[in-house]
Amino acid sequence: MRLAPRPRKNLLFWLGVIVFLLSMSLWSARGIGFSLTELVCNLTDGSRLLRESWPPDLAFLARLVDPMLETVFIAVVGTVVGGIFAIPVAVLAARNLTPNRLTWFADRNFMNILRTLPDLFWAMLFATAVGFGPVAGALALTVFTVAVISKLYSESLESIDMGLPEAIRAVGGSWLQMIQFGALPQALQHYVSYALYAFELNIRASVVLGLVGAGGIGMILETQRANFEYERVTMIILAVLVAVLMIEEVSESIRKRLT
């Protein structure tokens, strides 16, 4: 049997795509004053910085334990509190569970606003409210966690089998009971998985928030950098790297076991 002639690839179309991408990149590079020559010439400065940053100041490690713990605590509080608040936000945003269209619409928009504004914005906002420090950081990460989990979880909830919720209705259950017994258990695995994922993001975000004064190891990093203590900076970066890798490894192995 003969196949129909193979359709010709549209060369002109792909050429256009490549030209478009290239010109966009060049235009953007010019816009931010990026130049290869400058990059190469300054490499020597970079190597000087690297030389000053080595070896890491091992003695400094002892003073990193408490700030590191603080960073983790900020992430834990943000994940737990945000994870709890994310549940109602997700339920109301799930088309198959929300009590009415108006609630759904309002909640969807609320979720979008949370997600659009970056975590740094929330950190600044809460810092003005409760002052710079770990509390502001934890509050910022709470909002960030709600934004991350609610979106994903509401999508999981939209794909559940509606037979069980209907059965809960049929025994005379209320809307809340339909949610608790009919809907949430079906997407529980997803929820735990998203919460762990949010925790991983929060650990990293917590370090960055420290740079702007939200406490934790990020704050130490910022002060040492400002004092040109590069060997300490290296030590901090290594410590963060190891901690983040460890936490992500554990979290990922739990998530794998869930699915």
Partner 1 sequence: MTQQTPSPAGAIQFRNASITYPNGAIGMKNLDLQIEPGEFVVIVGSSGAGKSTLLRAVNGLNALTEGTVAIDGETVATHSSRDLRRMRKRIGMIFQDFRLVKRLSVMSNVLIGRLAHVPGWRAMLNLWPLPDREIAIDALMRVGITDKAWVKASQLSGGQQQRVGIARALAQQPSIILADEPVASLDPVTTHQIMKDLVRINRELGITTLVNLHFLDLAREYGDRLIGLRFGELVFDGSAKTVTDEDFRNIYGRDFTESDLLEDSA
Residues in contact with partner 1 by CB under 8 A are 163-164, 166-174, 176-177, 180-182, 185, 188
Least CB distance to partner 1 at residue 167 (A): 4
Least CB distance to partner 1 at residue 249 (A): 27
Least CB distance to partner 1 at residue 170 (A): 4
Which residue, 5 or 163, has its beta carbon nearer to partner 1? 163
Integer angstrom CA distances of residue 200 from 62, 145, 254: 24, 11, 12
Which residue, 162 or 237, has its beta carbon nearer to partner 1? 162
CA–chain centroid gap for 30, Å, is 30
Distance CA 142, CA 74 (A): 9
Integer angstrom CA distances of residue 87 from 39, 144, 244: 48, 14, 26
Least CB distance to partner 1 at residue 20 (A): 46
Which residue, 130 or 167, has its beta carbon nearer to partner 1? 167
Which residue, 7 or 172, has its beta carbon nearer to partner 1? 172
Least CB distance to partner 1 at residue 176 (A): 7
HEC secondary structure over 52-117: HCCCCCHHHHHHHHHHHHHHHHHHHHHHHHHHHHHHHHHHHHCCCCCCCHHHHHHHHHHHHHHHHC
Task: Write the burial class of residue 182 (CB in 10 Å: 0-12 exposed, 13-18 middle, 19+ buried).
Answer: buried
Which residue, 133 or 173, has its beta carbon nearer to partner 1? 173
